[in-house]
Structure 1
Amino acid sequence: MDAGGFLVLLLGLSTPVASKEAWSYVEVRDGAHMFWWLYYADSASAQYENLPLVMWLQGGPGGSGTGFGNFEEIGPLNRDLEPRKTSWVQAASVLFVDNPVGTGFSYTDRPDAYATNVATVASDMLVLLKNFFTEKPEFQSIPFYIFSESYGGKMAAAISLELTKAITKGTVKCNFSGVALGDSWISPVDSVMTWGPYLYTTSLLDDYGLAEVNKAAEAVKQAVEQQEFLKATEMWSVAENVVEQNTNGVNFYNILTQDSDENHKLTHLALQILRHIRPLQRQSLSDLMNGPIRKKLGIIPQNVTWGGQADEVFTNMAGDFMKPVVDIVDQLLTAGVNVTVYNGQLDLIVDTLGQELWVKQLKWEGIPSFNKLRWTPLDDPASPHITGAFYKTYKNFAFYWILKAGHMIPSDQGPMALQMLKMITQQA
């Protein structure tokens, strides 16, 4: 379905007066329906045909790209329906997809239709992308990038590898040009094992706290090494509790802020959902999505509520949650795919220390040369002569260190995130 944008909605007009949009559902498996929402690029200097297409994947799993990514981070309007100055739509067409199935406006018809691992997530997305590029052939030749955040990065890596294979086979027609992994859950153990040192060096743990956090992290590591991944997910939740108790409630998404004390009598899975899914579905955003947006879209089934199945999405993926996908990143690099890693300085849940660990251990032949490079500073576009980031790149691999940003980089440092987008997509 094509539509003209929010001015149509707000002014009650029947003809498009704003940038072009489209949205639809794709049944990716029997009983599994995925929702996507496309904004055509709206640039004063170029037509959408001359700008890239970016697909945005949210984290969780269970976080909605059409909701949080759209209205809280990179879409044309913010949660109050006001224009966003740092919207990525000014530099690219942006495709938001609610995945895995059950996320956002995506839904399942039955309990056994949820994805339980990233392999199913990737195969579902391949069905959607094949459908999308068939329905929108104008995008088949346009450079296509996958950008992601948090658990979305783990999914993006797996999707990118399957997409590369599908393009080679000729089953999907698109101009896949690269993947960007933002604060991504690529190597969960490396993240957890560096929580203690990171918090200690930022004066958020004392010696006793460091010892307790490290002990809890070691239990996570042992479960992973023993291939007991559901147990590892439970131990991860225990480790988070230990962090909260010793830091008086540090926010896992930004260490300069604090979480309120929640009910720690909940089960492990319930606690994880509370910490990592609910923040992506604040009441004001839920009211927007289930109110004006639902009305605007006009195709949401009556029995579907935005975010209504998010908890089940997370629960069904719990056994896959702590599995690493570093080997997939290696395969992407070896296949010549452009891979970018970017991370926020103030993020704890996926701290930069942990990202550095798995990156330095990549088996890709270019990594020794990459590791020898010195980084280059980037000015913050919003504050000339003030460093906003560092980056380095070698062949088809790049790393961006984004300063003064937490887990959600576009919402914390919008101008810098937009500049990074343009650099990755070769517009700057």
Structure 2
Amino acid sequence: MWFVFVICILFCERVHGGDYIAPKNKETWSYVEVRPGAHMFWWLYYTNANASYTQRPLIIWLQGGPGASSTGYGNFMEIGPIDVGSNPRKVNWVNEANVLFVDNPVGTGFSYVQNKSLYARNNSMIADDLVTLFSSFLKKVPEFQKVSTYIFGESYGGKMAVGFAKALNKAAVAGKVKCNLQGVALGDSWISPVESMLSWPPFLYATSFLDEEGYQKVQKLADATADEVKKGNGKAATELWMKTESLVENLTHGVDWYNILHLDADVQSLNAVTVEKKPRRGILSYDRHVGLLQGGNLKDLMNGVIRRKLRIIPENVTWGGQSDEVFAALEADFMEPVTDDGKESFSMSFLPSGFSWFSRQCFLAFSVEFLLNRTNLSVIVYNGQLDLIVATQGTENWVMKLLWPGVKGWRSTERVAIPLPHIKTAAFYKQYKNLCFYWILQAGHMVPADAPEAMLEAMKHATNIHG
């Protein structure tokens, strides 16, 4: 009787007027102490697919921010089997693949640090922590060592995914980690922050959010931010980025950064997640972006029934309680492109004519280039048509400037349309060798939430799921 009572509490608790429905698939979760005093939480869903789970890929999902929670937002708001209202999600990735959600960097979601000095300060630290976590994960569930694995990163999670993929590939080649990494997917990703920022003025002007005068004002600040990045002044660049965002919001009367067609001030692009108005240590952009993912029904769910279900969360840990500190710790690294610290370089003989010194420096030791040039991994890039913060034009710009011999072939390859039963054209893709780019229509920054069916088709195509 006691056992039945516990099960009812864990799996049948009422949430927001409805019963919490446990997913049908097998789940497991755990903590990994990636460094002394730094604890990272992961949550695995085994696939519901008819095929054996070892015959379907493992997708590692990394949320953005930095400081947004994969186990919370990515799981319950985007691709997991249950939504934030505790209803089964009709279009979810667990029906097709195994999905591993990781609260990363340390301090995000249910992950936590015991000392503030332990927060990650750069992408290299984040990558090392993720390799440590995944190595521990594979020891706990060794059957996944041979399963095709793909790292999916959304927004800032894409920046982290690139570093993770590179570090994991090196560890695998050295025999330190036994895994079957096949590729990395970068969704509306903060790979080249300068290129993303420089795309804001023309995008906003073309969509009538700015007039010519406003265009020039935003362009001036974006150019100034690029100059600070060129000088290596990361913190100053981040401060100018924040200033530029405030200017854009003032000039556009509050354009939605994540979906420009969300014009109603009472409608958030994040499906009923509400912003908490209290300041977070003076970091306006934390509230503007990460705080938006941490409140409302999702916060109640994670700190209520989910916390009780998991049963391993320390009493002094609150879901999202350290995420603002995570954001602040990466301030100096925030505007940096994903680089290799100048340790590796590539031939520049195939650079486009007129390529600027600044662009050469930003992309000379790009980790995306390392993956394309020095590994057999698939590099998958996708972007939502209606995203502003990482607009498609900026993403295309850094892709076309990659120091990769195949870039010319990719540029000349024709796009292929992706139809759905009820949509003539839901997306396009272009693939050449190990680079594939997906243009997802009618979607903003959180593509799986805005265009779930189109994104699911893209995911299946990218990970070679058939049937």
When normalised by structure 1's length, the TM-score is 0.94
Distance 1:291 1:206, change over 3 A: same
**Match status 1:34 vs 2:40:** yes
Identity of aligned residues (%): 51
In structure 2, the residue corresponding to 1:24 is in which secondary structure?
strand
1:294-324 per-position Cα deviation (integer Å, ceiling 9, x unaligned): 0000000000000000000000001000000
CA displacement, residues 368-394 of structure 1 (integer Å, 9 cap, x when unaligned): 11111121111135x24x200010101
Aligned-partner residue type, residue 174 of structure 1: C
Partner in structure 1 of residue 295 of structure 2: 282
Which residue number corresponds to residue 253 of structure 2?
248
**Other-structure match for 2:120:** 115
Q: Which contiguous aligned blocks of 4+ residues in structure 1 show a shift greater than 3 angstroms?
A: 5-8, 258-269
Question: CA–CA distance in 2 between the matches of 1:121 and 1:208?
Answer: 41
Distance 1:418 1:176 in 2: 20
Whether 1:136 aligns to 2:141 is: yes
Structure 2 Cα separation of the partners of residues 278 and 266 of structure 1: 10
- Equivalent residue number for residue 304 of structure 2: 291
The alignment status of 1:361 with 2:401, answered yes or no, reads yes
Deviations 1:229-252 (A, max 9, x none): 100000000000111111000011
1:375 paired with 2:375, answer no
- Per-residue CA deviation, residues 127-168 of structure 1 (Å, 9 max, x unaligned), is 001101111111111100101100000000000000000000
The answer (yes or no) to whether the contact 2:10–2:309 under 8 Å persists in 1 is: no
- Whether the aligned pair in 2 keeps the contact of 1:6 and 1:18 (CA below 8 Å) is no
Post-superposition offset of 1:336:
2.1
Cα RMSD after superposing both structures: 2.1
Structure 1 range deviating more: 418-427 or 296-305: 418-427
Is residue 2:336 matched to residue 1:323?
A: yes
Q: Deviations over 1:248-267 (max 9, x none)?
A: 00011011124859999979
Match of 1:251, SS state, is coil
Match of 1:217 in 2: 222
Query: Which segment drifts farther, 268-277 or 129-138?
Result: 268-277
What does residue 406 of structure 1 align with? 444
Structure-2 residue corresponding to 1:197: 202
| TM-score normalised by structure 2 residue count | 0.86
Distance (Å, rounded) in 1 between the aligned partners of 2:411 and 2:334: 28
Contact preservation (8 Å) 1:234, 1:268: no
Cα distance, 1:10 vs. partner? 1.4
Give the structure 1 partner of residue 18 of structure 2. Answer: none
C-alpha distance after superposition, 1:88-143 (max 9, x if no partner):
00110000000000000000001101000000000000100110111111111110
Gaps of 5+ in 2: 1-6, 15-21, 267-274, 339-362
| Residue of structure 1 equivalent to 2:349 | none
Contact 2:280 2:287 in 1 (8 A): no
Partner of 2:99: 94
Q: Is 1:185 aligned to 2:223, yes or no?
A: no
Quote the Cα distance in structure 2 between the aligned partners of 1:192 and 1:144.
Answer: 32
Q: Structure 1 residues 235 and 258, CA, compared in 2 at 3 Å: closer, same or farther?
A: farther
Is 1:230 matched with 2:230? Answer: no
Of residues 372, 377, 383 in structure 2, which corresponds to 1:333? 372
**What 5-or-longer segments of structure 1 have no aligned partner?**
none
AA aligned to 1:38 is: L
Paired with 2:403 and 2:426, the residues of 1 have a C-alpha distance of: 30
Cα distance between partner residues in 1 of 2:31 and 2:166: 24
Aligned to 1:426: 464
Q: Which residue number corresponds to residue 320 of structure 2?
A: 307
Q: Write out per-residue CA displacement over residues 22-63 of structure 1, whole angstroms, 9 at most, x where no aligned residue.
A: 0000000011000000000012x3121211100000000000
Residue in structure 2 matching 1:124, options 112, 121, 129? 129
Shift of the alpha carbon at 1:204?
1.1
User: Any idea what the Cα deviations from partners look like across 1:51-82, whole Å, max 9, x if unmatched?
Assistant: 11000000000000000000000000000111
Distance 2:152 2:188 in 1: 11
Q: Distance in 1 between matches of 2:211 and 2:240?
A: 22
Q: Does 1:151 align with 2:156?
A: yes
